[in-house]
Homo-oligomer: A and B are copies of this chain.
Amino acid sequence: MTYLQQITSPTLLIDEKICRDNIARMATKAKNNSMKLVPHFKTGQSKAIGKWAKDYNVPEITVSSIKMAEYFCGDGWETIHIAFPFNPLEIKKLNELSQNQKISVQLVNSEVAKMLANQLRSPVGFFIEIDAGYGRTGVAVSDFGKIEEILRISQTSDYLQFRGFYIHAGHSYYAKDVAAIHEQNIAALNMLKNKYRTEFPDLVTRTGDTPTCSMMDDFGGIDEMGPGNFVFYDLTQAGIGSCTKADIAVALAVPVVDINPEKKTILIHGGGVHLAKDVLFEPNGEKNFGEVVFLSDEGWEIPKSRSFVKSISQEHGIIQASEELLQKAQVGGLLGILPVHSCMTADCMKAYLSLDGQWIDHTEGFSF
């Protein structure tokens, strides 16, 4: 039975070859810059994909919640980094996990540093997250008072161990000038490293976002990179220029349930609960929730003429169809949709089907 014959409802497909190529390319770039690649597994959330990453000498991963850390515990990672300002309500769980798994967390204030210093029962590393302009989270790059307060608190603890500085320049997703953001990251991290390396000779610097890691070649001495989305990429990243559409490693297979040749629309079973509701905008202002690819036993193929999902509700999607698509599509058939935001689509779907018909695990879905 081919993978296509297994599908009766919306199903997230993964092309292992594309995914491995994405990991290999980033691993090579990291190596060329003498950097450690610590991929952010909030995208794949999968032990199977973790195995693929290990083939490219990835010893350590990043996750975005303690639940995800727990999922990967005991799966052979040197360290699991939780790249989210630590939630002190989860100290008990952290103490459980860190007994058997090296874990690092992220700190942005002295309140949580104090709680950890008082309550940790095993060694846990921490990065101080730096806000170099994104404005979502992190200590302002020039707020040495707060940085040193956190460092001072950590020194009162036998268990809370400083590892370095972390920047996630999430605004590179929206900015026109990724290179400028990259320069800003390098300058911030190098300044902090120079300022604190005498006292902390082992401190490392890490930068996180997929656009800068994909598009830049020189990392100016930053020690580690932690991109996430690059394992799959998506239409957002293709729009930014981080990848081409051919690099997108996942596609949502969706059943066609109705075709309207007059309106040139196709109704699919595939909506917000499958794709999530991330959206791109066409030049004419129309919404784009994903782009159509044709499915075959070998995988998917990008059509000559573009068709996209122009609206979605909970379970419904409506495709604005090209003539090529209208000729090929049939009620009862399947189409593929390249996602706008693959991390969110994967989190909605909670499992992957490989092109050889194997189910691939996800944190909250299938587990093997």
Interface residues of A (CB under 8 A from B): 7-9, 42, 64-67, 84-90, 92-93, 108-109, 111-112, 115, 136-137, 170, 255, 257-259, 267, 269, 272-273, 276-278, 311, 313-316, 318, 331-332, 334, 343-344, 347-348
Task: Report whether B276 and A272 are in contact in the complex, using a CB–CB cutoff of 8 Å.
Answer: yes
- Other-chain contact of A137, B64, B137, B258 (Cβ < 8 Å): B258
Task: Report whether A136 and B272 are in contact in the complex, using a CB–CB cutoff of 8 Å.
Answer: no
With both beta carbons as reference points, the residue of chain B lying nearest to A279 in the complex is identified as B277
Known: A9-B67, A277-B277. A84 touches B269 (CB 8 A): yes
Task: Report whether A331 and B109 are in contact in the complex, using a CB–CB cutoff of 8 Å.
Answer: yes
Q: How far is the CA of A276 from the CA of B84 in the complex (A)?
A: 19
Q: How far is the CA of A315 from the CA of B334 in the complex (A)?
A: 32
Q: How far is the CB of A327 from chain B (nearest CB, A)?
A: 16
Q: How far is the CA of A331 from the CA of B112 in the complex (A)?
A: 8
Task: Report whether B8 and A42 are in contact in the complex, using a CB–CB cutoff of 8 Å.
Answer: no
Known: A313-B170, A315-B42. A86 touches B347 (CB 8 A): no
Query: Max chain B CB contacts within 10 Å: which of A86, A259, A315?
Result: A315
Q: How far is the CA of A347 from the CA of B344 in the complex (A)?
A: 13
Q: How far is the CB of A333 from chain B (nearest CB, A)?
A: 9
With both beta carbons as reference points, the residue of chain B lying nearest to A106 in the complex is identified as B257
- Which B residues lie within 8 Å of A258 (CB)? 85, 108-109, 112, 137
- Other-chain contact of A64, B92, B315, B332 (Cβ < 8 Å): B315
- Which B residues lie within 8 Å of A87 (CB)? 8-9, 255, 257, 269
Known: A9-B90, A84-B269. A332 touches B278 (CB 8 A): no
Task: Report whether B7 and A89 are in contact in the complex, using a CB–CB cutoff of 8 Å.
Answer: yes
What does DSSP make chain A's interface, helix, strand, loop or mixed? Answer: mixed
Copies of this chain, complex-wide, total 2
Known: A344-B277, A347-B314. A331 touches B88 (CB 8 A): yes
Task: Report whether B112 and A272 are in contact in the complex, using a CB–CB cutoff of 8 Å.
Answer: no
Can you list 16 A-B pairs, Cβ within 8 angstroms, ordered by A? A7-B89, A8-B93, A9-B65, A64-B315, A84-B269, A88-B331, A108-B257, A109-B258, A111-B331, A112-B257, A136-B316, A137-B267, A137-B316, A272-B276, A277-B278, A348-B348
Known contacts A9-B67, A65-B315, then 12 further A-B pairs from the complex at CB < 8 Å, ordered by chain A residue: A7-B89, A42-B315, A84-B257, A88-B255, A88-B331, A89-B332, A108-B267, A112-B331, A273-B344, A273-B347, A277-B277, A348-B348
Query: Max chain B CB contacts within 10 Å: which of A67, A93, A258, A311?
Result: A258
- Which B residues lie within 8 Å of A344 (CB)? 272-273, 277, 314
Q: How far is the CA of A334 from the CA of B347 in the complex (A)?
A: 24
Q: How far is the CB of A286 from chain B (nearest CB, A)?
A: 14
With both beta carbons as reference points, the residue of chain B lying nearest to A262 in the complex is identified as B140
Task: Report whether B332 and A111 are in contact in the complex, using a CB–CB cutoff of 8 Å.
Answer: yes
- Which B residues lie within 8 Å of A315 (CB)? 42, 64-65, 84
Q: How far is the CB of A145 from chain B (nearest CB, A)?
A: 13
Known: A269-B84, A273-B347, A344-B272. A313 touches B136 (CB 8 A): yes
